[in-house]
């Protein structure tokens, strides 16, 4: 399921909040002006439909600067994958196959 973050959280708070509801949580850091983000966004939506038990959180880096900084995000798009309150993977860029495998391999 794809969620658009609309309130401020820190990483541990957000992961704690989502841990009880999904086996895997994907934090998707993006920006409205980011061309590569626009390119991979449809694939993220497809993945969220293919894996409805996985929570995907779309986080606008301009709106949530503190969370972005805490997560050490330096480029967009960046994907952080959490399982059982632990980060199990990171991906930067628009490689759709790599993102799909990151999700599948951590379920």
- Among residues 24, 26, 37, 73, which one is catalytic? 37
What are the structural domain ranges in the chain?
2-104
Mean pLDDT for 61-65 is 91
Assess whether 75 carries a catalytic annotation.
no
Q: Say whether pLDDT at 3 is over 80.
A: no
User: Taking Cα atoms as reference points, which of 22, 16, 29, 23 lies closest to residue 71?
Assistant: 29
Look up the CATH architecture of domain 2-104.
3-Layer(aba) Sandwich (3.40)
Distance CA 87, CA 6 (A): 22
Distance CA 15, CA 17 (A): 5
- Among residues 24, 34, 71, 76, which one is catalytic? 34
pLDDT band at 43 (very low <50, low <70, confident <90, very high): very high
42: tokens are 């449809």
Torsion of CA 19, 68, 91, 87, to 10 degrees: -30
């Amino acid at each position: 399921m794809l969620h658009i973050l609309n309130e401020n959280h820190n990483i541990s708070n957000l992961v704690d909040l989502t841990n009880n509801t999904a086996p895997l949580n994907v934090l998707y850091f993006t920006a409205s002006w980011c061309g590569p983000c626009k390119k991979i966004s449809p694939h993220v939506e497809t993945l969220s439909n293919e894996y409805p038990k996985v929570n995907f959180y779309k986080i606008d880096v301009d709106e949530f600067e503190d969370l972005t900084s805490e997560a050490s995000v330096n480029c967009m798009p960046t994907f952080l994958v959490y399982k059982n309150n632990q980060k199990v993977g990171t991906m930067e860029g628009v490689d759709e196959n790599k993102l799909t495998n990151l999700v599948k391999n951590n379920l």
